[in-house]
Amino acid sequence: MLLKETELKKLANKVRIHVLKMVFSAQSGHIGGAFSSTEMLVSLYFHEMNFNPKKPDWSERDHFILSKGHACAAQYACMALAGYFSENELMTFRKLNSRLQGHPAAHDLPGIEASNGPLGFGLSIANGIALGKRLDKINSFTFVLMGDGELQEGMIWEAAMNSSQHKLNKLIAFVDWNNLQIDGKVSEIKEVSPISKKFEAFGWNALECNGHDFNELISAIQKAKQSKEKPTVIVCKTIKGKDVSFMENQCDWHGVAPNQEQFDKALNELIIKGESLGK
């Protein structure tokens, strides 16, 4: 699916509106990190990934792993808009017996490639998928999205060594670099920078871009797809709570649901944003 930048921006706005409504309805969920990763997810689902929502187990598909699983509301919204299931089902998010669990559950929802709760596992899972594709001679890509706070997990760096050791050039990782985690600034809790240089030291290609700019994101992804010998990480500078004024750059919105007044204000801001993008 190859959409133009204006259409991608409109989809990103729709994703944020869906996420806001889902978390408000459930009174549980993670808005901040879902909003910061929205453009990355939209770029993948509506421009770069090959998949068939009617045949989610198609063997030639690209795979996507959401390692920062708590941001799954944004992934669910993208999947609904891409045709995996009805947008109406989004409102079952985090409800009893819903397929849309608070963290991705592969056994419940076709299109989710791996269950994910604890942080740090996504890159290892992506390594296994990428290696399996190579053995099966399948020439598709494996994408994984991690958080910057998640890079504090040692398992990430063990996996990064394996990625480069096996020259997994069909593996493309994203880092949502919003510099905030549940307890505050990443830089004050356990510094992970310089992210790009660390991945390069582990044998990766490293690119950096504005994680909310579709032109930069798509350019970086396409460049990563040209790699012949190495896996590639795209370090995306983002804003936690992007596009809602009182949520932006506030770690308090990592995992808190809005009250009615906050919901109304946030929804109004996103609707105005959508109107500015045109019909």
Cα distances from 29 to residues 69, 116, 253, in angstroms, run 11, 15, 10
Of the chain, the percentage scoring pLDDT greater than 90 comes to 96
Domain that holds residue 182: 5-276
Contacts of 17 (CB under 8 A, 6+ apart): 267, 270, 271, 274
Q: List, for residues 165-182, the tens digit of each pLDDT value.
A: 999 999 999 999 999 998
Domain count, the chain: 1
**Tokens linked to 91:** 């409102």
pLDDT in tens, the chain (279 residues): 567 899 999 999 999 999 999 999 999 999 999 999 999 999 999 999 999 999 999 999 999 999 999 999 999 999 999 999 999 999 999 999 999 999 999 998 999 999 998 999 999 999 999 999 999 999 999 999 999 999 999 999 999 999 999 999 999 999 999 999 989 999 999 999 999 999 999 999 999 999 999 999 999 999 999 999 999 999 999 999 999 999 999 999 999 999 999 999 999 999 999 999 985
β-strands 232-237, 171-177: how paired? parallel
Q: What is the pLDDT of residue 117?
A: 85
Domain CATH number, residue 210: 3.40.50.970
Q: List, for residues 5-15, the tens digit of each pLDDT value.
A: 999 999 999 99
Q: In this structure, are residues 193 and 187 in contact, taking their beta carbons and an 8 Å threshold?
A: yes
Angle between helices 5-26 and 260-276 (to 10 degrees): 170
Q: What is the pLDDT of residue 279?
A: 59
Secondary structure, 3-state, the chain: CCCCHHHHHHHHHHHHHHHHHHHHHHCCCCHHHHHHCHHHHHHHHHHHCCCCCCCCCCCCCCEEEECCHHHHHHHHHHHHHHCCCCHHHHHHCCCCCCCCCCCCCCCCCCCCCCCCCCCCCHHHHHHHHHHHHHHCCCCCCEEEEEECHHHHCHHHHHHHHHHHHCCCCCEEEEEEECCEECCEEHHHHCCCCCHHHHHHHCCCEEEEEECCCHHHHHHHHHHHCCCCCCCEEEEEECCCCCCCCCCCCCHHHCCCCCCHHHHHHHHHHHHHHHHHCCC
